[in-house]
Structures are given as structure tokens and as C-alpha cells.
Structure 1
């Protein structure tokens, strides 16, 4: 069977990170089943991590992975202060920007 995943070295991870954070939140919100949103979040993180590891190595992968998980964690208390959409968009912009800057740029 042919591998259906894109070559990890050519995948742009910033959009994957954005899709994981926004998509995971929206799916959890729409279904009312938080673990489904968590599965989307996890799948995007694994896909991005695969690319970071292939291109940038373990240290960058660990740092960007921590930033991704940190953004998810920070979105919850931030939402209490500024609202859910502004919170998710803020942490997504930060995490996707870091993914682009440290993971996607040549």
C-alpha cells in the first residue's frame, strides 16, 4: 500500500498547527465530546512533529511540541479573560507563527 502521508520534509506545519488548535476546539464544541477535539489536536501535533523531527531535529521538535501544548493549555484561562474566539485565535497565531519561524523556514 502506498504511503498516503506527504513527505515529512515538504509539509508546511504552520497550517497543520492552526488546523489542530482551531479545528480541535470547534469539533469539541460542535459535538460536545471533548476527546474528539483532543484527537484532532493530537493528530495535528503528531503530523507536525514528524516533519519537525525530519527537518530540524529532536530539540526543535521538543520545543515546538511544548509550544503547541502550551498554547492549548493557555487558551483555557485566556478564554475566561478575553473570550473563547479571541483566545483560540491568539494562541493559534502564536503557535503557528512559532511553527513557521522555527520549523518551516529554510
Structure 2
């Protein structure tokens, strides 16, 4: 069985978390989506590339979430979310999915 690429998990977490919060008006529910996919991505990175890489990439993921907020004030919410998501996915592919699973 082929593992889901971590870029798919981070994309689902960042876009899905924002879309859930926006559609429901429930920010904590969006946070649950963000956290669930982040946890799945962490485990994927840990298995493929080791604990240190998983911790570093989780920092990138959480940092992207944090960066989207001030960026949204400058470029709009969706462009900010899509921009940080694309950057996070690129890092996930380049660093996190290189191990041997």
C-alpha cells in the first residue's frame, strides 16, 4: 500500500482547517482539522525521515499557519492560505518525503 505524501496531508490541514473554520464559523473546529492533519504529517515524516526532521517540518507547518494571519491582512485570506500552503507543500516534498517507505 502506498503512503499518502505528506504534502497532501499538509495541504489538507492548512486549506481544510481554514475552510472548515470559515464555513462553520467555528475556529476551534478548524483547529481540530489543522491539528489532525498535522499529526498525520508528523507521523509520516517521523517514519520516513526521522524524529528531527519531523519536528523541524512540524515547525514549518505551524509557522505557515501563523504566517497566514498577518499575510491575510496584506493580500487577503484565501491568497495567504494558498501561498503558505504551497510553500509548506514544497518543503514537505523536498525534505519530508525523501526517506524510504
Q: Aligned residue pairs: how many?
A: 99
- Return the alpha-carbon distance in structure 2 between the equivalents of residues 71 and 33 of structure 1: 20
- Return the alpha-carbon distance in structure 1 between the equivalents of residues 96 and 32 of structure 2: 22
Task: Indicate the residue corresponding to 2:45 in structure 1.
Answer: 52
Higher-Rg member (1/2)? 1
- Return the alpha-carbon distance in structure 1 between the equivalents of residues 45 and 98 of structure 2: 11
Pairwise CA RMSD of aligned residues? 1.3
Gaps of 5+ in 1: 1-5
Deviations 1:5-41 (A, max 9, x none): x77xx33110110010000000000000000000000
Task: Indicate the residue corresponding to 1:90 in structure 2.
Answer: 83
TM-score, normalising length: structure 2: 0.93
Q: Which consecutive aligned stretches of 4+ in structure 1 deviate over 4 angstroms post-superposition?
A: none
TM-score, normalising length: structure 1: 0.89
Gaps of 5+ in 2: none
